[in-house]
Chains A and B, each alone.
Chain A
């Protein structure tokens, strides 16, 4: 049946493109959570979600932006889950996400990676998207589901904060 053939062709294109994007997802996730292992878990889960939801992807739009959105939302859900567990489990109420990779493999992080982990989540992701992943402000705003002005302000604050952290860490 022609329809089936077309469907398979789309799946094949989708899957090939997704495989090409995997390294980008890994790089973004690594910057987000500061842990290579955790990042790779996130990427595989996000890619599986993207594959399962492939029929909801609008052809002609950016698959990279779409998969980054899935990864980013998955990451935030995992943090919330983790923080809830921490809060329910004991009295350590002040742990944030940055503490998890720190406990695991902080020793492997360089100054910049450590500084990145000190940024608030929303600024870190903004800086990574615009300053490293090569997204425009518009695309980054879409990935994070915020207004363009909000994204610009987050990136700008992140730049100032990161420069400050790097300055003090070098002194």
Chain B
């Protein structure tokens, strides 16, 4: 945390040697992981949720829908 704060003002607070060693574009893993949700696992269930939904989309309509479909079909014949 301290290093991150220092990096904001490298010229002022940090020795040049240190700022050379640490690439500011490469955030340190320890700092990054802190306070973050485990993204991988969250994405897993989010994808599962979409799959669950899609699996129902792919099902053929059950026989119980026959009456409804017949009613809606009458619009075509009218």
Tell me if A40 counts as interface (CB < 8 A to partner B).
Answer: yes
In the bound complex, residues from chain B placing their C-beta under 8 Å from that of A14 are 75
Interface size on A (CB < 8 Å)? 37
CB-CB nearest in chain A for B74: A15
Q: How many angstroms from the CA of A47 to the CA of B54 in the assembled complex?
A: 20
B65 to chain A, nearest CB (A): 7
Contact present for A128 and B53 (CB under 8 Å): yes
120-166 of chain A: CB within 8 A of chain B: 127-128, 131-133, 159-160, 162-163, 166
In the bound complex, residues from chain B placing their C-beta under 8 Å from that of A76 are none
Contact present for B72 and A51 (CB under 8 Å): yes
Tell me if B6 counts as interface (CB < 8 A to partner A).
Answer: no
Tell me if A112 counts as interface (CB < 8 A to partner B).
Answer: yes
Tell me if A65 counts as interface (CB < 8 A to partner B).
Answer: no
Contact present for B56 and A27 (CB under 8 Å): yes
How many interface residues does chain B have, given as a range?
A: 20 to 34
Tell me if B5 counts as interface (CB < 8 A to partner A).
Answer: no
Tell me if B64 counts as interface (CB < 8 A to partner A).
Answer: yes
Which 8 A-B residue pairings sit nearest by Cβ, starting from the closest? A27-B56, A132-B53, A15-B75, A11-B75, A15-B72, A27-B53, A23-B57, A163-B42
Contact present for B49 and A12 (CB under 8 Å): no
71-130 of chain A: CB within 8 A of chain B: 110, 112-113, 115-116, 127-128
Q: How many angstroms from the CA of A88 to the CA of B41 in the assembled complex?
A: 43
A18 to chain B, nearest CB (A): 6
Contact present for A11 and B61 (CB under 8 Å): no
